[in-house]
Amino acid sequence: MNIPSAMDRADNRQRWIGWALFADLIKGLSLTLKYMFSRSVTMQYPDKEKWVPYERFKGHHLLRSDENGETLCVGCELCAKICPCYCITVVAYEDEKGNRRPKVFDVDTARCLFCGLCEDACPVECIAMGSFFEYSTYSMQELVADRDQLMQMPGKIDDGGYIADAKMHTADGVRVTATKKQDESWWDNIHRNN
Ligand code: SF4
Ligand code: SF4
Nearest to 99 by CA among 127, 75, 63: 75
CB-based contacts of 160, cutoff 8 Å, min separation 6: 52, 53, 54, 55, 57, 131
Atom 8 of ligand 1: nearest residue by CA position:
83
pLDDT per 10-residue tile (average), the chain, 194 residues? 73 81 88 80 84 91 94 96 97 92 97 96 96 90 96 88 86 79 65 52
User: What pLDDT is attached to residue 90?
Assistant: 97
Please answer whether residues 108 and 143 qualify as being in contact, where contact means their C-beta atoms are separated by less than 8 angstroms.
yes
Which ligand 1 atom is the nearest neighbour of the CA of 121?
Answer: 7
Taking the C-alpha atoms of residue 21 and residue 35, their distance in angstroms, rounded to an integer, is: 21
User: What pLDDT is attached to residue 189?
Assistant: 61
The pTM score is 0.76
Please answer whether residues 176 and 166 qualify as being in contact, where contact means their C-beta atoms are separated by less than 8 angstroms.
yes
User: What pLDDT is attached to residue 194?
Assistant: 45
Amino acid letter at 17? I
Does residue 112's CB lie within 6 angstroms of at least one atom of ligand 1? yes
Taking the C-alpha atoms of residue 31 and residue 22, their distance in angstroms, rounded to an integer, is: 14
CA atoms within 13 A on the CB side of 51: 17
CA of 151 to the centre of ligand 1 (A): 17
Nearest to 130 by CA among 154, 163, 105, 111: 154
Amino acid letter at 166? A
Which ligand 2 atom is the nearest neighbour of the CA of 78?
Answer: 3
